[in-house]
Structure 1
């Protein structure tokens, strides 16, 4: 899959006292695309494999990049944590051979950078992971102060054959009920109250010993009321023994009723195959109490206005019919 890398991190280094508010010129010109975003390999213990990563320099200046591997983990809220090679027990960063520690890519050019991975003979079966970073190594401009050093990386997802368990499941699934909003959020996303933000939360756990790439979707239908729909949540890779969250706002949420929602996750032996399916259900309610209150208050106000007008009319008619005392 040719897509811009999903892992983009910024490494902040302090080079001196800031003398200018302008950002460094070399950081502004960092525009790199890596293909692929994820490298999946299966290598037997005691053997090796070679692979390459394509670097596209989309900037108007040449890119000087330093290349290095790191360990990583992912929190349930999908934030990444990076550590030195060998920090995690499932690391394969120390197995990766960096053949070119620095690379230079001319402006508008593409280069294929070769790598090798050598799996130790006693490697534990299952998943082993790392990220290969390409970091801006250009010389900073003088007197630029605090400098932002951008980097971009490709995930390496390596499986050592053996006793492999590829298993995932839904830990929790909820959709928020709504009682006090007035209208739906804009089509481009959520908005603050009184817009209707019907949030969903889906937790998926990898209980196996290899990574799984999970595709997820939510569909809902009314048990009583009006509206049905769904949302494609996309896909994410979940490392063994970890939980990841799919969270967001239902687009075009229903207006009124009781609803059943179903979450569907699918995964398979690689990031392109989805042949295992798991499902979970929940329910949520949408009752626009504020609209009901506004309608009731409107009806009461109309009734009061009519009652007052009729009373005033009766008094006026009575005064007109009252006989003159002097006649």
Structure 2
């Protein structure tokens, strides 16, 4: 009953001044009322015809305001309006001076771009074509006189779009010299409803065995439409070695459950173990060098001995007496 009274009041607010303003200002706007149904993301296009039946030139400015029950029109700047609930925010129309000579007509494009985040329901707004030398005077004239106007009634129907994108999944390092290991997930909400992604990161060793399962978004944080979320998970393992695979599996959506997945690989090479291995390799290299040196030295010494000239031994008794 309350909504019916509100709708009747809107019609009275629009229709009665429309006829009065036409008589007072000599300006006629067509159409005077637009009723439409739309969905989020819809773009509605119209042409507003303005005829000047007055004796002089009409300098008009388009003033746009939401109509909210129990509140007067406010004609706020677009930046102060809510994307999800403000019909005035969705209106695109010329805001500069519209000059129409006596007896002349003008056609003004009007576009209603229903926001992606628009909530289902009925929305009302007015576009007042108020006369004045500038916007300030046009606003004052609207308050003091009946100016021609156009009524907008748009019903946004339910059109839930739940769509997310896994923009990036990564291990914070390709090689971990010390633990724990950490992972980061980046998600984007491409739909028009809040989403609450939840899931897990499954860790597999080089044998393909599952060794851990890490929760993602355990707190249930939501991502707004056109927003993004970043979630971190930590594998607080005490020891590990070799190549590992991490697979993420995410679910989201209330209307239809959907899933996202991705895989990354990483290595765990503990620094103490690397030092032991490096020390063992170094010791092995030293031992091998010594062995090769000894082997080379013996071969060279044996070669020299085999190539010495043979000295013949004397025959008989050597006479040492001096002759």
Larger radius of gyration: 2
- Structure number with higher helix proportion: 2
Highest relative contact order (Cα 8 Å, sep 6+), 1 or 2? 1
TM-score higher than 0.5 here? no
Which one has the bigger strand percentage? 1
What is the TM-score normalised by the length of structure 1?
Answer: 0.37
